[in-house]
Amino acid sequence: MTRAAAAVGRIDWTVVGLVVVLGAVSVVNLHSTSMATGTTVYLKHLYWLVIGLGVMAAVAAIDYRNLQRMAPVFYGGVVLLLALVLAVGKEVNGSRRWLDLGFVGFQPSELAKLAIILTLASWFQRVPRPGGYTLRDLIPVGLLLGVPMFLVLQEPDLGHTLMLLFIGGSMLAYERFEKRAMLSVLLVTVLSAPLIWSFVLRDYQKDRVLTLLDGKADMHGAGWHARQARVAVGSGGLVGKGHGDGTQVAGGFLPENHTDFVFAHLAEEHGFLGAALVLGIYLFLILAALRSAVQARDKFGGHVAVGVGALIFWHVVMNIGMVLNMLPVTGVTLPLMSYGGTSVLTVMAALGLLLNINLRRTVF
């Protein structure tokens, strides 16, 4: 068997197949949105998916060892971009989250997720602690997480700030820590909650939390999105209203129907069965990531796989929790289903990392 044939055999074709199916479902769903709104968003989304497949293949082809060597440089570059977006980024509705490149907008906070995954994985590889990490060991980890989180929060973007925290926290959970260190982190988290509410959250972010606690509060203001999303999901029933027959988007009731609330539109037109199909695909992708973590040759590969799985898991939980009014509206997209160039390319690059780990788990 030639080396090329052996490499092809090690590719996780299950992951590739799941990505293709999920991409096809997303294009069909956004085609319905385009019919209702008179746009061509589904064609633009297809364009980004095709480019994303190329990105996924390119990331999978990079030598495994180079990823660890490039991690500090990549992290530094992303931090500079996050600082740059605060200085000269495009302001929309009081937030600076995008760098305007002229021909396309670019959101550095998406790249910050990849930077956190690679950088923390590299740190755990370089600083092993077989007996468990101590509280002192958490200081550099906290700094690596805290710098991009602080910059993203200044945009302000609470959704992506939490996403970085959850991805990093999931990677930490993959390691052993001394009991005192874990208790200290838990205590600091509990004590800091009132301070975060009083001095960190903006007024509109507090309104979203309060609306979540009282579903009838400000239904025509902060609670509008969540209410219309619940109507869309509930009206879909078992099999949905059919492709192009949804009324929430066509009637202009469901905002952000091609990005944040794309799942509500899917559930309205394809019902419980269509929604279950998409959730099943995400579940298999997460399980594939966990399997890769177990089979990875070293700590770096294992942590990268856990980070990729956490990225998908927390995006799905936060987005669908938002749609079902179980979590506050934070603007977190649904991986590969929501329209967005930077978001699609980031998820595709993350899945390319997953393929890379599988491809080289026995080759060094």
Both tokens of 193, joined, read 């909650």
DSSP 49-112: HHHHHHHHHHHHHS-HHHHHHHHHHHHHHHHHHHHHHHHHPEEETTEEEEEE-SSSEE-HHHHH
| Positions of the chain with pLDDT under 50 | 1, 4-5, 364
Q: Does residue 355 contact residue 63 with C-beta atoms inside 8 Å?
A: no
| Secondary structure of residue 177 in the 3-state scheme | strand
At residue 328, the pLDDT reads 81
Q: Looking at the whole model, is its pTM more than 0.75? A: yes
Task: Give the per-residue pLDDT at 111.
Answer: 95
Give the separation between CA 347 and CA 341, rounded to whole angstroms: 10
What phi and psi, each to the nearest 5 degrees, are found at residue 94?
80, 5
Q: Which residues pair with 177 in a beta bridge?
A: 133
